[in-house]
Amino acid sequence: MPDLIQIVELVDAALADASRRSGEHLVCRAGCTQCCVGVFAISQQDAARLRAGLDTLAQTDAARAQRVRLRVAESISRLEASFPGDPLTGVLAEDDDSRAFFDEGFAEDEVCPVLDPATGTCDLYSARPILCRTFGPPMRDEDGNLAACELCYTTATEEEIAACEVDATISDIEERSNAAFNAERRVTGETIVAFALR
């Protein structure tokens, strides 16, 4: 089963291929931050990669890492009172009501604490979660529908969009990798970026 580095390499290769096929339809660039607004669930594997990335940043640019930590603390202070899960562990609750509350707009205006507001870039870009790596090009959602960033593919036909789809096996590989990671480390559930970096 792919480890932390292998899953990233697989995803990045699939994204590079989809990006090549997308050409000018994929408008994602540094400074475009629409996908950095609103919280989303991340795996424990993503959380571990983010923490390792922050540790590395602290060794190479302590001031920048401290700014990330400050934004994390500010984000948590805004979110913890209504967090649909355990605010001590940061693990999202899995009951239907909590999932519905989370999915229907919890903190949809919260800016990711890893986003540098001055540059519009991700301070932990090399350690970013899988969802961040794959957002933009078309991918299948849970219902099997193709979904892409609303800023991209605005002039593309349905056939052109389908031709740019990210390798559909990536989701299954990620799911198996996350399950193996959780079993090996005896962790469960999902969290969000702010709580992962607490």
Q: At what angle are helices 169-185 and 44-60 packed, to 10 degrees?
A: 80
Predicted local confidence at residue 141, as pLDDT: 80
Phi, psi of 54 (to 5 degrees): -70, -40
What are the average pLDDT values for consecutive 10-residue runs of the chain, which has 198 residues?
70 86 86 89 96 97 98 98 96 96 94 96 95 86 84 90 88 90 95 98
Q: CA-to-CA distance for 153 and 26, rounded, in angstroms?
A: 6
* pLDDT for 1: 39
Sign of the C-alpha dihedral, residues 108, 114, 116, 120?
negative
- Burial of residue 21 (number of CB atoms within 10 Å: 0-12, 13-18, 19+): middle
Q: Which helix (H) or strand (E) holds 85?
A: strand 85-86
* Number of C-beta neighbours around residue 20 at 10 A: 10
d(CA 193, CA 123): 13
* 49-101: pLDDT as tens digits: 999 999 999 999 999 999 999 999 999 999 999 999 999 999 999 999 999 99
**What's the pTM value of the predicted model, to 2 decimals?**
0.88
Q: Residue 3's pLDDT is what? A: 60
Joined together, the tokens standing for residue 83 give 């967090």
